[in-house]
Structure 1
Amino acid sequence: MAEVAISDAQERSAESPALAGLAAAEAPRAPAFIVTIYGDVVEPRGGMLWMGTLIDCCARHGLNESLVRTAVSRLVGAGRLEGVRIGRRSYYRLSEAARSEFREAARLLFAPPPVPEDWLLCLSEGLRDIDLPLPWARLAANIALAPNRDDLMPVDGILMRAKQLDGHGDLAVLAADRWSLPEVAGAYGDFLASHGGLRDLLARNVTLSPEVALALRLRLVHDYRHAALSDPRLPRAAYPQDWPAEEARNLFVCAYVGLSKAAEAHVGAEFLSPEGHLAPHNGETERRLFQLRREAAG
């Protein structure tokens, strides 16, 4: 018994810096964090989760039961969650619209597309009367510019492909103004400051309990997703030399992979759907990890 007690105490001591980091961090907004839980854990395993599991999971992040129930109610009202009652228990899943949105976010998190090399220019008098969808930016009343990306939302008008000529103008100054790049850099900086300690934690092979590993991974995904989705993903020449996106990406990839074995054990043990416990892992979660491991090795 004494040996078990010592082992437990050592594990709690090893976890304490990680737990302290979670405790010190500002609690996330409940609706957005619940969507993160569904996108990272629930959706790839079938999509439905018991409210009690959701409440327990959110409690680790400073979100009490009242906040969670209110957030779920608002997400249902906004058409982002759908609920079903089975016996005395309520279960929720992402709506089709929310699933489609997170599938796009998941692609950016787990299989990011290559950095674009050039631009698209749109000329149209119709641009004067519309709010441009991101990442389009207005250069003049009838001229808009966007990175040439496969996932770009089109706008009506004459489209031209453009490439900057070296030595002509300061593209980084234009980009910083049109796409609010200082704010995006701030989001990446906040992510690195909040999660940078995971590098040391994982490098020392500290044994984390499954519950703590999942809590750390969920916050990692939540904060990185916020930063990455705010990034317009422009050609590299449009960013300053000290752009923090690559460092943030490397941290996300290494930490996600390093936390996942223990984190997924907690999912399999504690997360309940109408059919019972969610699977610790399946084809979709293995595919995500394979992509990240390949990226880390490359």
Structure 2
Amino acid sequence: MTSLAPLASLIQRFQEQTPIRASSLIVTVYGDAIEPHGGAVWLGSLIRLLEPVGINQRLIRTSVFRLTQDGWLKAEKVGRRSYYSLTDGGRRRFEKAFKRIYSSSVPAWDGSWCLAVLSQLAADKRKQVREELEWQGFGALAPTVLASPHCDRADLIATLQELEALDDTLLFETTAQDVSASRALHLQVRESWKIDDLGERYRQFIQLFRPLWKALREHEQRDPQECFLARTLLIHEYRKLLLRDPQLPEELLPGDWEGRAARQLCRNIYRLLCVPAERWLGRVLETADGPLPEASESFQQRFGGLAPARE
């Protein structure tokens, strides 16, 4: 039982989900905690790591099997033990999602737009392409016209090729222009990217994790296991938000955008939890070569650098 009441509430909230999203949480753990340490761990140590969240051994084994079937994880047998790591495809998907979480800021915007016109796609293919592009930050200006204020053209073309939709999609890029957004553009952004709904989700995130931030600041001695559990649930919830967030430029967002406060809160909590949580990972997780290796250099660059947050 945790000594931190807000953490106990977060664990209970996770356990009350119907059904428990064990596979999603395991993906979070691989991306946040395992990948920086070489990426492969013994299944038995993963079970020990996650059981305190309320996921029993059977559910963890079932979830890992499903993630393997779905192409997220792969297994390597060493004697009687199985060691799981992300597949190459799983790692690519992870990198797309997690680089949003830990980046220090949204890239500067020059006022240009990328437009994708889907009118020549069949209805079922159009739905598939639209869903994928919206995940990448595009918003619908019209039923068959999607727009993004910043996109990586190479990534966009690769995505359309994977979906076998490149030849039937029209792509346009506008020239750079004044970045100050008009009233009409702000209204269009609010509608096309469902800004009000996303802002409400960010407010809920802040309400959920602000008590944890206050409790952590009052406890100078922080239990490593509790810190790992808190860090995992923090990033798990923030990851779900970021997958919905198109990462629009500051110029297009409301002045009171809750996403800024949510990001600051997430970064501050993460910094407080990071060192003790890393100690717990080192105690519990095992690789085929023995103890968990040190975290990669890129790990220290998360959120613009993992220097301890001021208390």
Q: TM-score, normalised to structure 1's length?
A: 0.83
CA distance in 2, matches of 1:19, 1:137: 36
Residue 116 to residue 145, structure 1, CA distance change in 2 (3 Å):
farther
Deviation at 1:71, TM superposition (A): 1.0
Q: Is the 8 A contact 1:21 1:194 kept in 2?
A: no
Q: Note the alpha carbon deviations across 1:40-92, whole angstroms, 9 max, x for none.
A: 11111111111112222222222122221111111111111001222222111
2:240 to 216, 221, 226: 226
1:45-64 paired onto structure 2 within 5 Å: 45-64=37-56
1:144 to 126, 139, 146: 146
Q: Which residue of 2 aligns with 1:76?
A: 68
Deviation at 1:107, TM superposition (A): 2.1
* Further displaced range: 43-52 or 203-212: 203-212
1:113-192 paired onto structure 2 within 5 Å: 113-117=105-109, 118-122=111-115, 124=117, 127-129=119-121, 130=126, 131-132=129-130, 133-134=133-134, 135-140=137-142, 143-150=145-152, 153-154=156-157, 156-161=170-175, 163=177, 168-192=182-206
Q: Which residue of 2 aligns with 1:24?
A: 12
Q: Percent identity?
A: 27
Q: Which amino acid is the alignment partner of residue 145 of structure 1?
A: A
2:83 to 91, 98, 103: 91
Q: Secondary structure in 1 aligned to 2:256?
A: coil
Q: Is the 8 A contact 1:111 1:291 kept in 2?
A: no
Deviation at 1:166, TM superposition (A): 5.7
Q: Is the 8 A contact 2:106 2:247 kept in 1?
A: no
Q: Secondary structure in 2 aligned to 1:101?
A: helix
Is structure 2 residue 123 aligned with structure 1 residue 109?
no
* Further displaced range: 45-54 or 104-113: 104-113
Q: Note the alpha carbon deviations across 1:92-125, whole angstroms, 9 max, x for none.
A: 101111111222333222224434432414375x
CA distance in 1, matches of 2:292, 2:21: 25
Q: TM-score, normalised to structure 2's length?
A: 0.80
Q: Which residue of 2 aligns with 1:202?
A: 216
Deviation at 1:288, TM superposition (A): 3.2
Unaligned runs of at least 5 residues, structure 1: 1-11
Deviation at 1:30, TM superposition (A): 0.8
Q: Is the 8 A contact 1:266 1:280 kept in 2?
A: no
Deviation at 1:178, TM superposition (A): 1.2
Deviation at 1:247, TM superposition (A): 0.6
Q: Which amino acid is the alignment partner of residue 113 of structure 2?
A: L
1:270-289 paired onto structure 2 within 5 Å: 270-279=284-293, 281-288=295-302
Q: Note the alpha carbon deviations across 1:231-287, whole angstroms, 9 max, x for none.
A: 101122433333211111111111111111110110111111111121354434334
Q: Which amino acid is the alignment partner of residue 41 of structure 2?
A: L
Q: How many residues align?
A: 283
Deviation at 1:223, TM superposition (A): 0.9
CA distance in 2, matches of 1:81, 1:100: 12
Q: Which amino acid is the alignment partner of residue 53 of structure 1?
A: S
Is structure 2 residue 92 aligned with structure 1 residue 100?
yes
Q: Which amino acid is the alignment partner of residue 206 of structure 1?
A: E
CA distance in 2, matches of 1:121, 1:269: 48
CA distance in 2, matches of 1:165, 1:211: 46
Deviation at 1:165, TM superposition (A): 7.8
Residue 91 to residue 137, structure 1, CA distance change in 2 (3 Å):
same
Q: Which amino acid is the alignment partner of residue 219 of structure 1?
A: L
CA distance in 1, matches of 2:108, 2:217: 33
1:43 to 26, 35, 53: 35
Q: Which residue of 2 aligns with 1:4?
A: none
Residue 41 to residue 143, structure 1, CA distance change in 2 (3 Å):
closer
